[in-house]
Structures are given as structure tokens and as C-alpha cells.
Amino acid sequence: MTVQAAILRADELRPNTFSDDIKYSWLSELDGRIKTDVFDTHAGYENVEAPDYNLGNRTKELLAPEPYSDIYVYWLFMKMDFMNGEFDLFNNDAMLYNTAWLAFANFVNRTHDVKTRAKIKNA
């Protein structure tokens, strides 16, 4: 899924007034977490760089592949809900996001070797 596709899907499912710039920064934040918490601890992702999405990177592919891309839509929902003070919606979306995160992390755990602690520190 591309950066723009994630934003378009979230906007279609949950219309909002947040700017694309804000959503790009939220997606950068999530992919930064994916890189640090998942990719940096597993072999095979050594060449993945920290993302920095902006208006010029609309067609850039996000880090989590299909069929795990729903993580981005739920993340955007959570951020919008929190900022709007919609805490019941936030809690529901947080459950969906956490389920998507675990599915993705489990996929990486199944398909890539975990680095040793020394290798993680040196990465």
C-alpha cells in the first residue's frame, strides 16, 4: 500500500478535517516504529531506512506489506479519534490496530530470524 492509498482509504471510511501533512507525519511515525521495533530486531531488513513521508512521497510504499496494510488505516483512525476526543472510537480502533500489529509482527517473527542482542545494538 502506498502512503496516498492509506490516506485515501482512511478518508473515505472516516471523513475528517485533518490535513494530509498531519497524516503523512502520522504514517512516518508508525513506519518508524515498525523499523525500530520489528525490522531492526530481525535479519533481512538491514537496508531498510527510516521513513520520512511528505507530500512529495505520495506513491512511496509503506513498510508493512499486504495483507497487513490495514494497520495503517487503523493507526490513522486512532490518531484522528484521539485528537478529536472520541475516546470510545479510539478504544475500538486501538483494539483493531493492536490486532493488526500483532499479526504483522508474528508474520515477521515466522519468516525472519531474530537478531542477537549484540547485533541489534550494533545495527
CA distance 70 to 26: 15
How high is the pLDDT of residue 6?
97
84 half-sphere exposure, CB direction, 13 A CA radius: 16
How high is the pLDDT of residue 57?
76
How high is the pLDDT of residue 121?
60
Buried b (16+ CB within 10 A) or exposed e, 81-112: beeeeeeebbeebbebbeebbeebbeebeeee
What is the chain's mean pLDDT, rounded?
92
pLDDT tens string 70-88 = 999 999 999 999 999 999 9
Whether 122 shows a pLDDT value over 90: the answer reads: no
Helices (H) and strands (E) in the chain, counts: 5, 0
Whether 123 shows a pLDDT value over 70: the answer reads: no
What is the pTM assigned to this prediction?
0.90
CA distance 60 to 28: 11
Measuring CA to CA, how many Å separate 81 from each of 13, 15, 54? Answer: 13, 11, 22
